[in-house]
A and B are shown apart, each in its own frame.
Chain A
Amino acid sequence: MAEITERKHKMDNSVQKEILQKITSIASSKLELREILDTITHVLVETLDKDRCSICLLKPEKKVICIEASKGVSKKSVNVFCIEDDAGTISSMFTEIRPIVIEDIRKFPHVKLILNPESEDMFSLLAAPIVQDDKVSGILMLQTRAPYVYSEDEVNLLTIIAYNVSAAVRNADMYRNVKAQLDELKVIHEIGKAISSILNIDELLPYICREVSKVFNVTGCILRLIEGNNLQIKASYGLSDSIKQAMDLKTGEGIAGHVLSTRAPLLIDDTHRMPDNLRVPGIDATSVICVPLMVRERIIGTLGLYDKKDEWGITTFTEDDLQSLMTFASVSSIAIENARLYREEIEKEKEVSQTKDYLKSLIEDSADAIITSDTEGHITSWNRGAENIYGYTEDEVSGRFLPMVPAFLQDEERNFMNKIKNKETLRNLETIRQTKNGRLIEVSLTLSPILDASENVTGISGISRDISEKKLVEKELIRKNQELSRLFFINSVVRSTLELDKLLKMVLTVVTMGDGLGFNRAILFLMDESGKVLKGEMGVGPASPEEAKNIWLSMEGRSLGAIIEEIESGPVYLDSHLDRLSQRLSVDINGDCILCRCIKEKRPFNVRNSKAEPLVTPYLIQMLGADAFGVVPLISRDKIIGIIWVDNLFTGRPIKDEDLQFLMGFSSHIASAIENARLFENVALAQSELKNIFESISDMVYYTDSEFTIKRVNQAVVRKIGKPEEEIVGQKCFRIFHGKDKPWELCPHHKSSVSQQPYVGELEDPYLNGTFVVSNSPIFDSARNFVGTVHISRDVTELRNLRERVIHSERMAALGELAARVAHEIRNPLISIGGFARRLEKKLSGDIQEYAKIIVNEVSRLENILKEILGFVKSSRVNKSNVNINDMLSGIVDFTAPQMDERHNAVIKEFSEDPIIAVIDPDRIKEAILNIFMNAAQATENGTITVKTRIEDNEAVIELIDTGCGIKEEDLKNIFNPFFTTKPQGTGLGLAVTHKIIQEHNGKVKVESVWGGGTAFKIYLPVRDP
C-alpha cells in the first residue's frame, strides 16, 4: 500500500499538465487516426508507467477495433485487432458514462469480456468511456500486471484524455467523410468527362469499374449489361478472369438479377445471412451493394460493389454509399448509352459509306454517259462512259458548257434546261449529240434536276446512251442504278436540321430558364461546313423588357422538365425575334474579335463592359446591344463546333465567372450531343433517301445474302410476287422467284455467285411467266468477303413480244416486196397470154376456139392464184365498226397537242352531251380529220381551234373552226383537188385524201373561209351504215 500512496503523490500538477499537452498536440496533429491512437497509447504507457494501454473503438455493426500498446514494445508493433461485440458488452458496461476502476480484475470476470482474450496476465484496469453524441463509442484502458489502486488524479486525467481521443476520432471521421464526398464528386466529374472523351465502349466500361472501385475503396466491382435475356459481365475490377466468364445471370438470379427484376438498389451487409437464391457461386464477398443502370425508365444493366475496405480492413456499406453509387450509376448509364449509340452510328456510317463506294463504282463503270452540270450547263462531273461515248476526257470538259450538244441543237438544249429548272424530269428523249471528232450520234437522253435538301434545283444530271447500240435493256438497268446513286450522293451530304433544332432549342432553354442557368438571353453559334465562319443558329430569350416580363410571368410555376418535354414532343418554331436576329449573325473566325478569341483559346470570356473591351466589335454591340455578356466555346472531341453567347440584357445582373465555368463544364456535353445529333441525322437522312429511291424504282430490286436468303425487297417485287413483304423476306430467292428447291443454274444469280462477278443476263422464267433481264452484282464487305448479291430485274416480256412482232413484220415486208416484183414480172406475160387468147377465142371457131378458151380459163386461174397470194382477195378495204365520234376526236386533240402548243393555239371542245356513235372505219376517218387539224394548226398562231359535234338529221356533224389566216376565195374551189397546195412544202394531197375518205363513207365535207378571218370545215357522216 505504501508504494501505491507514493505513486499517488508523484502525480503532481506539472506532470499532468505535461501529459495533457502532449496528448492534445498529438490528437490535433495531421497524422492518420490510427497513428494518432498508436502514439497516444504509447505516451500513456510511458508517462503513466503502466503495463498496457488500449483504445477500443466501436464501429458499425458492432465490430470493435482495438489498438493496444504495451510497455517495452516499440511503436511499430502496436497490436491492432478486431473483435465482435455481439452482446453489446461495452455499452452495457458504461450505463452511466463513468470510468470503471478495478484493482483486481479477477473479482470481476464479466469485465474480462471486453479485453483481449490473450491478455490473461493483467490484473488492474482503469477504463474511461470514449463518448460521442452522448453515446459510448469506445474505451480507453490502462492496465497493470499487478493489482493496483488508481488515484483520483489518474482517473480524471484518463477521462480528459478519453475526451481528446473522442475529438480526434470525430475529426478523423469528418475528414474521411469530406474526403469521400470530394472523391465521389471528382469521379462523377471524371465520368462526366468520359461522356465526351471515351466513346469507345470497350474502354469506357473498365474505366468506370476502375474509377468506382477507387472511390468507394472496394475489393471488387462488377458491371453487367443486359444482352438478350442475360446479364453479362462487361467489365470488372478486382475479379479473376475465370469468374468473369462463368457469370452470366438471368433476371432474378443472384444479387444483380434481383436488382434487375426489382429495379431497386440492394444493400447486403453480410452475404452469409442473405437468402440462398441471391447467392452466386464463385464470388466470395461479405458485403455487397448493387444498383441498376437506368437510362430514363429503361434498365440497361447493373453495377455492383463488393467488400468495402477502410483503414481497419473490410467494412460494411452505408446508406450514403448506396446513394452515391446511385448517382454514379446514373451518370455511368448515360455514358454507356452514349458510347453504344456512338458505336451504332459508326457502324451505320460504315454501312452507308460501303453502299456509297459501291454505287460510285457503278457510276464509273457504266457504259452510259453520266454527266452532271450546274443549272447553266457547265459540266461538274463526267464519267468514263461519257468519255467513251463522246471522246472528251473529264479534264477537257470540266466547267465548260456541254460540248457534245451540236450547235444547231443548243436552243433546244436550253429549253430542256429551263424545264429541268422547273423540276421536270425529261426521260428518254431521243436526240443528236456530237462527239469530239465531229461525228453525230443518236442518243437517248434522260435529264433530271439535282435537288438539295430544301428542294432547290442546284444542278442537272444527264444520262445519255448511244442508241445505235443494241443492248438497250441492260443499259437501262444500269442507268437506273446510277440515277439512284447520283441522287443519293447529292442528298446525303446535305443535312436536315429538324431533330437537331429540337436539341439546340432544349440546350438554350436550359441555359435561360430560372431552374437552369437563368441567363436572360442565350444565342447559339455553330461553325459552318467550311470551318471558317461562325453562324448564328438559334436564340432563346425575349425581344424587349415587356416581353421579358410576360414570358417570365407565363413561365412561373412551370418546371424546366415540363418545358423541355414540350419542346421534345411539339414542333420547334424558329421565328422568334431573337432567332431571326441570331440567324443574321455571321462572324469570320479568322478576324480579331472576342468570339474568335473564345474559339482560338478554347476558354470562356466574361465581358463586363463591352464598350470598353477593344475585342468587342461594333458589329456585335450593334446587333446584340448587350453591355455585358459571356461567351463559352462548345468543344466536342477537341474540335470547336460553336459557341454559346449569354447575357442578362434585361435584368442587368452581372455575370459571374463561376456561372461561365459552370456553363463551360456543361458545354462539352452539349457539344457532343450536337455532334451526335448531326451524325445521327446524316445517317438517318441518307438511309431514308436510299429507302425512297429503292422503293420507287419500277424494276424489281432485292438483296440476298450469300446463302440465297432474301434480305430486302422493294415494292416492285411485292407487286410482282403478289405476297406481302414479310412473306418474301427471309425466304430463299430461288423458291420465291423461280419456284425451285435449290439454286437454278440458268439464273444469272447462280452464275454471279459462282464467279463473284457482276452478271447481266436475260432469263425466261416459266414460274413468273415472263422474260426478265436480270442484273446481279455481288456485294463484298470491307474485308472483301462475299456477303450477298444485289438484284435488279426488269420484266421485259412485253418488250420481247414486241421485238418479235417487229422482226416478224420486217420479214413479212421483205417477203411482200419480193412478191410484188414476182407478181409484176409474171402478171404482165400472163396478161398478154390471156388477153391475146381471148382475142383468138373471139376470132376462131370449132376445136381451135376451144383450145383458145382453155388457155383463157387457165390464165384466169393463174391470175386468181396470184391475186390470192398478193392479198387482193380482201373483200373490203374499209374496216367499219361502231365508233364514238367524240372519243375519237378527243384522241386526235391529244395527239396534236404538241403542234398546237408550239404555235400557242388553244383547242376548245364543244361536244354533244350524248355520245355520237357512227359506223365508220376509225383509221380512215382519223386520217381525214387529222389532215384538217394539221392545216388549221399551221394556219393559226396564238389563236383558237374549236371542235364541235352534234347530230343533225340523222347525220353526225363535225365542225372544225380555226381563227387562222383563212383561204383566198380563188383557192377555195381547188382545195380538194389533188396536188393543189399553197404551202411551200405541201404535197397537195391532204385535203384530197380527206375528201375521198369522207366520200367513201357516203359523207360530205363543206368549207367556209374568209381570207384573214379563219376557216370552218363541216364534215357530215351518216350515223347508220346505209
Chain B
Amino acid sequence: MKLLIVDDDTNIQRLYKEELEEEGYNVVIAGTGKEALEMFEKENPDIVTLDILMPDIDGISLLRKMKEQRPNIPIIMSTAYDYRDDFAVWASEAYIVKSSDLGELKNTIRKLMDK
C-alpha cells in the first residue's frame, strides 16, 4: 500500500513518514507541487495526502490534475486553514485539519483503504 505525502515542511514530512511507516504503509514524500506530479506518475501511489497551501502549485490545482489522470484515486486534503467553503475541495475524498495528533489522518487513510 503506497502513500504519497505532499507537504513543503521538511519536519512534517519526516513526522508523517515515520508515523505512517510505523503503521505499515509504504510512504513517498514530495516537497513541491512539481515534485508531487512527478512522483504521482512515477510511484503510482494508492492514496495521496495534499497540503493546500504550497509554494509553487497550490493543492487544489494538484487535486484537479491528479483526478484528471486517475479519477478514482482517493485524495485527502490536509491543511492548516479552513478551505471547506471552496467547492473544489469537495472533489477530494476527505478533508482534514492538520494537527500534531495524526490520529484523524490515520483513521481517514484506513477508512479510504477499506473501501
Residue ranges of A at the interface with B (Cβ–Cβ < 8 Å):
820, 823-824, 827-839, 856, 859-860, 863, 867, 870-872, 877, 927, 974, 977-980, 989, 992-993, 996-997
Taken together as a complex, chains A and B put the C-alpha atoms of A76 and B99 apart, in Å, by 145
Interface CB pairs A-B, < 8 A, 17: A823-B80, A827-B80, A827-B98, A828-B11, A831-B9, A833-B100, A836-B15, A837-B100, A839-B18, A856-B100, A870-B81, A870-B82, A871-B82, A977-B71, A978-B71, A978-B90, A979-B68
Q: Are B91 and A860 in contact (CB under 8 A)?
A: no
* Complex interface: chain B residues within 8 A of A863 (CB): 99-100
* Min CB–CB distance A991 → chain B (angstroms): 11
Taken together as a complex, chains A and B put the C-alpha atoms of A836 and B14 apart, in Å, by 9
Which one, A820, A828, A977, contacts B12 given CB within 8 A?
A828
* Min CB–CB distance A853 → chain B (angstroms): 13
* Complex interface: chain B residues within 8 A of A977 (CB): 67, 71
Central interface residue in B12, B84, B87, B101, by most chain A CB within 10 Å: B87
* Min CB–CB distance B53 → chain A (angstroms): 5
Q: Are A835 and B97 in contact (CB under 8 A)?
A: no
* Complex interface: chain A residues within 8 A of B11 (CB): 828-829, 832, 836
Q: Does B113 contact A (CB under 8 A)?
A: no
Residue of A nearest to B91 (CB): A978
Taken together as a complex, chains A and B put the C-alpha atoms of A830 and B9 apart, in Å, by 12
Q: Does B57 contact A (CB under 8 A)?
A: no
Q: Are B91 and A979 in contact (CB under 8 A)?
A: yes
* Complex interface: chain A residues within 8 A of B53 (CB): 820, 824
Proximity string of chain B (26-43) to chain A, C-beta cutoff 8 Å, 1 when within and 0 when not: 000000000000000000
Taken together as a complex, chains A and B put the C-alpha atoms of A829 and B10 apart, in Å, by 10
* Complex interface: chain B residues within 8 A of A824 (CB): 53, 80-81
* Min CB–CB distance B10 → chain A (angstroms): 9
* Min CB–CB distance B96 → chain A (angstroms): 11
Q: Are B102 and A867 in contact (CB under 8 A)?
A: no
Taken together as a complex, chains A and B put the C-alpha atoms of A833 and B100 apart, in Å, by 8
* Complex interface: chain B residues within 8 A of A856 (CB): 100
Inter-chain contact total with CB atoms closer than 8 Å:
85
Question: Chain B, interface size: which category?
Answer: 20 to 34
Q: Are B68 and A835 in contact (CB under 8 A)?
A: no
Taken together as a complex, chains A and B put the C-alpha atoms of A856 and B101 apart, in Å, by 9
* Complex interface: chain B residues within 8 A of A838 (CB): 100-102
Q: Are A839 and B97 in contact (CB under 8 A)?
A: no
Taken together as a complex, chains A and B put the C-alpha atoms of A978 and B82 apart, in Å, by 20
Known contacts being A831-B99, A832-B12, A832-B15, is A974 close to B80, with CB within 8 Å? no
Taken together as a complex, chains A and B put the C-alpha atoms of A870 and B91 apart, in Å, by 23
Q: Does B88 contact A (CB under 8 A)?
A: yes
- If A824-B80, A831-B12 are given as contacts, then 17 extra A-B residue pairs at C-beta distance below 8 Å, sorted by A number, are A820-B53, A823-B80, A824-B53, A824-B81, A827-B80, A827-B98, A830-B100, A831-B100, A837-B100, A838-B102, A860-B100, A978-B67, A978-B71, A979-B64, A989-B87, A989-B91, A992-B90
Taken together as a complex, chains A and B put the C-alpha atoms of A974 and B88 apart, in Å, by 17
* Complex interface: chain B residues within 8 A of A834 (CB): 99-101
Proximity string of chain B (1-25) to chain A, C-beta cutoff 8 Å, 1 when within and 0 when not: 0000000010110010011000000
Which one, B81, B88, B100, contacts A859 given CB within 8 A?
B100
Which one, B9, B19, B82, contacts A828 given CB within 8 A?
B9
Residue of A nearest to B80 (CB): A827
Mark out the residues of chain B between 49 and 108 whose CB falls within 8 Å of any chain A CB in the assembled complex. Answer: 53, 64, 67-68, 71, 80-82, 84, 87-88, 90-91, 97-102
* Min CB–CB distance B76 → chain A (angstroms): 14
Taken together as a complex, chains A and B put the C-alpha atoms of A292 and B100 apart, in Å, by 111
* Complex interface: chain A residues within 8 A of B67 (CB): 977-979
Which one, B15, B80, B87, B88, contacts A835 given CB within 8 A?
B15
- Nearest first, the 5 A-B pairs at minimum CB distance are A834-B100, A978-B91, A832-B11, A827-B80, A835-B15
Q: Are A867 and B88 in contact (CB under 8 A)?
A: no
* Complex interface: chain A residues within 8 A of B15 (CB): 831-832, 835-836, 839
Central interface residue in B80, B82, B87, B90, by most chain A CB within 10 Å: B80
Residue ranges of B at the interface with A (Cβ–Cβ < 8 Å):
9, 11-12, 15, 18-19, 53, 64, 67-68, 71, 80-82, 84, 87-88, 90-91, 97-102
* Min CB–CB distance B115 → chain A (angstroms): 14
Taken together as a complex, chains A and B put the C-alpha atoms of A989 and B97 apart, in Å, by 22
* Complex interface: chain A residues within 8 A of B101 (CB): 834, 838, 860
* Min CB–CB distance A663 → chain B (angstroms): 88
* Complex interface: chain A residues within 8 A of B82 (CB): 870-872
* Min CB–CB distance A815 → chain B (angstroms): 13
Residue of A nearest to B13 (CB): A832
Taken together as a complex, chains A and B put the C-alpha atoms of A996 and B93 apart, in Å, by 10
Q: Are A835 and B102 in contact (CB under 8 A)?
A: yes
Taken together as a complex, chains A and B put the C-alpha atoms of A828 and B81 apart, in Å, by 11
* Min CB–CB distance B64 → chain A (angstroms): 5
Known contacts being A835-B19, A979-B67, A989-B87, is A820 close to B81, with CB within 8 Å? yes
Which one, B64, B80, B90, B97, contacts A993 given CB within 8 A?
B90
Residue of A nearest to B16 (CB): A835
Q: Are A992 and B91 in contact (CB under 8 A)?
A: yes
* Complex interface: chain B residues within 8 A of A867 (CB): 97
Residue of A nearest to B79 (CB): A824
Central interface residue in B84, B98, B100, by most chain A CB within 10 Å: B100
* Complex interface: chain B residues within 8 A of A997 (CB): 90
Central interface residue in A824, A835, A989, A996, by most chain B CB within 10 Å: A835
* Complex interface: chain B residues within 8 A of A927 (CB): 87
Residue of B nearest to A977 (CB): B71
* Complex interface: chain B residues within 8 A of A839 (CB): 15, 18-19
Taken together as a complex, chains A and B put the C-alpha atoms of A835 and B81 apart, in Å, by 18
* Min CB–CB distance A844 → chain B (angstroms): 15
Residue of A nearest to B52 (CB): A824
* Complex interface: chain A residues within 8 A of B68 (CB): 979
Q: Are B9 and A832 in contact (CB under 8 A)?
A: yes
Taken together as a complex, chains A and B put the C-alpha atoms of A839 and B68 apart, in Å, by 37
Central interface residue in A827, A833, A871, by most chain B CB within 10 Å: A827
* Min CB–CB distance A866 → chain B (angstroms): 8
Taken together as a complex, chains A and B put the C-alpha atoms of A872 and B97 apart, in Å, by 9
* Complex interface: chain B residues within 8 A of A860 (CB): 100-101
Residue of A nearest to B64 (CB): A979
* Complex interface: chain B residues within 8 A of A820 (CB): 53, 81
* Min CB–CB distance B91 → chain A (angstroms): 3
* Min CB–CB distance B69 → chain A (angstroms): 10
* Complex interface: chain A residues within 8 A of B90 (CB): 978, 989, 992-993, 996-997
Taken together as a complex, chains A and B put the C-alpha atoms of A977 and B64 apart, in Å, by 11
Residue of A nearest to B97 (CB): A872
* Complex interface: chain B residues within 8 A of A992 (CB): 90-91
* Complex interface: chain B residues within 8 A of A979 (CB): 64, 67-68, 71, 91
Residue of B nearest to A817 (CB): B81
Taken together as a complex, chains A and B put the C-alpha atoms of A823 and B79 apart, in Å, by 10
Taken together as a complex, chains A and B put the C-alpha atoms of A823 and B99 apart, in Å, by 12
Q: Are A828 and B80 in contact (CB under 8 A)?
A: yes
* Complex interface: chain A residues within 8 A of B91 (CB): 978-979, 989, 992-993
Taken together as a complex, chains A and B put the C-alpha atoms of A834 and B15 apart, in Å, by 10
Taken together as a complex, chains A and B put the C-alpha atoms of A978 and B71 apart, in Å, by 7
Residue of B nearest to A829 (CB): B11
* Min CB–CB distance B65 → chain A (angstroms): 9
* Complex interface: chain A residues within 8 A of B81 (CB): 820, 823-824, 870
* Complex interface: chain A residues within 8 A of B97 (CB): 867, 872
Taken together as a complex, chains A and B put the C-alpha atoms of A867 and B12 apart, in Å, by 19
Q: Are A831 and B71 in contact (CB under 8 A)?
A: no
